[in-house]
Amino acid sequence: MDIKVTNLTKRYGTQVAVDNISFEVKTGEVLGFLGPNGAGKSTTMKAITTYLDPDAGEVFIGSFSARRHADEVRRHIGYLPENNPLYTDMPVIDYLRFVAQLQGVPTPVIAERLLEMIRICGLEGEKHKRINELSKGYKQRVGLAQALIHNPDVLILDEPTTGLDPNQIAEIRDLIRRIGREKTVLLSSHILAEVEATCDRILIINKGRIVADGTAADLRRRSTGHDVVRVCIEDAPANEVFTALQALETVAVVDFSRDKAACLEVQSKPGTTSRREIFSLCTANNWVLTEMTPLETKLEDIFRELTLQ
Ligand code: ADP
Ligand code: MG
């Protein structure tokens, strides 16, 4: 089931939290919703899950409108809100049974669904404990189990790994990836490595607006715009090499490499590459070219570039 958001806007007083955004998530896709704190991620998710009425715009889950068919939409969505609110006095199994009943899971299949969720979310050892006795990672698994209990087609996960330790993060990511094969997943995070590790596509939001949409590779490609290679040249005077590289017609900037001694980073002018010229230069001077490696812009740089305004 697809998610379709069109021209969504939400204001709080004079503050525009979400500013006319549109995007789609296709069935089987895990979309990472990335942005700094206060960008509008949770607000968008609340509008998708019908917890909040937008000022303008439409949300569709499959053919159901969040505005007109809120009950249908809720039935098809599993939602793990920010801060994972749970009834912490309840034992895990009782809480999940309660959510299953609320979500209208037919009574005869509830027991079976509970067992399945406990298995999928790795809660066997914890199912009889009270929720407030669990570690944060296990609480998060209970949050995921409650979001999945009615077998929804669409999962909305708001910062699902916040506050977890690295092992717990790896486990939750793995779980989300596994679940994501069959469902439509929208996952928010302010951590870049997280969305890169878990998601097929990344949507970057800043100050309520979408500033980028694509795979990690797309974002890198779009941002670079110019070709950068690291070249390592041996048996040649460094200064002479530097000057000769700088004099090449296609070269924009030459810099000494930060991570490798005796190597240089050569950035070409937009729309060109200097690789052939560099090679020819070395052969003409009898310099030994031991390395020529294309350098990628780091996703962190792209994220900062897009969200630091
Ligand atoms: P994110 O989840 O990306 O951190 P939010 O969607 O929570 O961002 O918030 C977007 C903006 O809207 C922020 O500036 C936040 O302060 C504001 N905001 C969110 N919820 C409310 C609210 N209930 N009342 C007033 N302002 C809010
Ligand atoms: Mg948030």
What CATH code is carried by the domain that includes residue 249? 3.30.70.100
CB–CB of 56/44 below 8 Å?
A: no
CB of 17 within 6 A of ligand 1: the answer is: yes
| 138/77 same-domain check | yes
Which of 11, 15, 51, when mutated, tests ligand 1's pocket best, judged by the most ligand atoms within 8 Å of its CB?
Answer: 15
**Protein residue whose Cα sits closest to atom 15 of ligand 1:** 38
- Ligand number nearest CA of 18 is 1
- What range defines the domain where residue 234 resides? 226-295
**Protein residue whose Cα sits closest to atom 25 of ligand 1:** 12
CB of 41 within 6 A of ligand 1: the answer is: yes
Which of 12, 203, 210, when mutated, tests ligand 1's pocket best, judged by the most ligand atoms within 8 Å of its CB?
Answer: 12
| 269/140 same-domain check | no
Q: Is residue 242 part of a domain?
A: yes
| 161/30 same-domain check | yes
For the cut 90, the answer to whether the pLDDT of residue 276 exceeds it is: yes
Q: Is residue 302 part of a domain?
A: no
For the cut 90, the answer to whether the pLDDT of residue 153 exceeds it is: yes
User: In angstroms, what is the span from residue 82 Cα to ligand 2's centroid?
Assistant: 6
| 170/244 same-domain check | no
pLDDT of residue 46: 97
For the cut 60, the answer to whether the pLDDT of residue 224 exceeds it is: no
Percent of the chain with pLDDT over 90: 65
| 52/119 same-domain check | yes
Q: Is residue 157 part of a domain?
A: yes
For the cut 80, the answer to whether the pLDDT of residue 143 exceeds it is: yes
Which of 10, 43, 55, when mutated, tests ligand 1's pocket best, judged by the most ligand atoms within 8 Å of its CB?
Answer: 43
| 275/207 same-domain check | no
| 163/247 same-domain check | no
Q: Highest-confidence range of 12-26, 150-164, 245-259, by mean pLDDT?
A: 12-26
| 9/127 same-domain check | yes
Q: What type of residue sits at position 139?
A: K
195-202 contacts, C-beta under 8 A, 24 or more apart? 195/32, 195/33, 195/34, 196/32, 196/299, 197/173, 198/30, 198/32, 198/173, 199/30, 199/31, 199/32, 200/29, 200/30, 200/31, 201/29, 201/30, 201/31, 201/32, 202/31, 202/32, 202/34
**In the numeric block, which tokens belong to residue 43?**
């607000």
Q: Is residue 103 classed as helix, strand or coil in its secondary structure?
A: coil
| 204/106 same-domain check | yes
pLDDT in tens, 192-202: 778 888 899 99
Q: How far apart are CA 151 and CA 256, in angstroms?
A: 55
| 188/260 same-domain check | no
The reported pTM is 0.79
CATH number at residue 162: 3.40.50.300
Domain count, the chain: 2
